[in-house]
Amino acid sequence: MITSLRKAIYSTGLTVTGLNAANFFFKEAPQNIPGSYCVFSEVSNPYAGRTTMSKFEESYVQFTLYGMNQEELETLVKNLRATFDDAESSFSLSDYYVLRIDWSLSRDVQLEDVKQLIVQYKFRLQQK
């Protein structure tokens, strides 16, 4: 993942109501987190490939929210979307312009007692 994008996503994620440094993580969460939490990471881009003639890149980012309470997770997704949907102007990267942030996927999963809500975004970037 582009470092400046990762840092911007993390700092923006900390502004989501219900998320903070104790429950918002990159790639992996520590064990035994009390309550709901969110992990974000870059997912495979099936159309990856930047040519030397193009200054554009796309980064697909997945936010996976975990918890025991479905309503709490749904509220976190609502707050996450309110923060990230159309938030291009709030992202300031040193090496890229953020041209678009598009919500691309949302789904529910349940593994035993743990509920998961997954939200994916596509970040369209242009190199400065």
Six-digit token pair at 33? 């987190």
The one-letter code for the residue type at 35 is G
User: What does pTM read for this prediction?
Assistant: 0.89
Q: 């809500």: which residue's tokens?
A: 117
pLDDT value at position 37? 95
> What span, in angstroms and rounded, lies between the C-alpha atoms of 34 and 54?
45
Q: Domains of the chain (ranges plus CATH)?
A: 3-127 (3.30.2000.30)
Tens of pLDDT along 14-67?
Answer: 999 999 999 999 999 999 888 899 999 999 765 655 555 578 888 999 999 999
Q: Report percent pLDDT > 70 for the chain.
A: 93
10 Å CB burial of residue 121 (0-12, 13-18, 19+) is buried
Of the candidates 2, 4, 42, 9, the residue with the CA atom closest to the CA atom of residue 24? 9
pLDDT value at position 111? 77
> What span, in angstroms and rounded, lies between the C-alpha atoms of 30 and 51?
37
Q: Starting from the edge strand earliest in sequence, which strands make up the sheet with 56-67, in order?
A: 24-26, 37-43, 56-67, 114-127, 96-111
Of the candidates 30, 24, 33, the residue with the CA atom closest to the CA atom of residue 6? 24
Six-digit token pair at 21? 């440094």
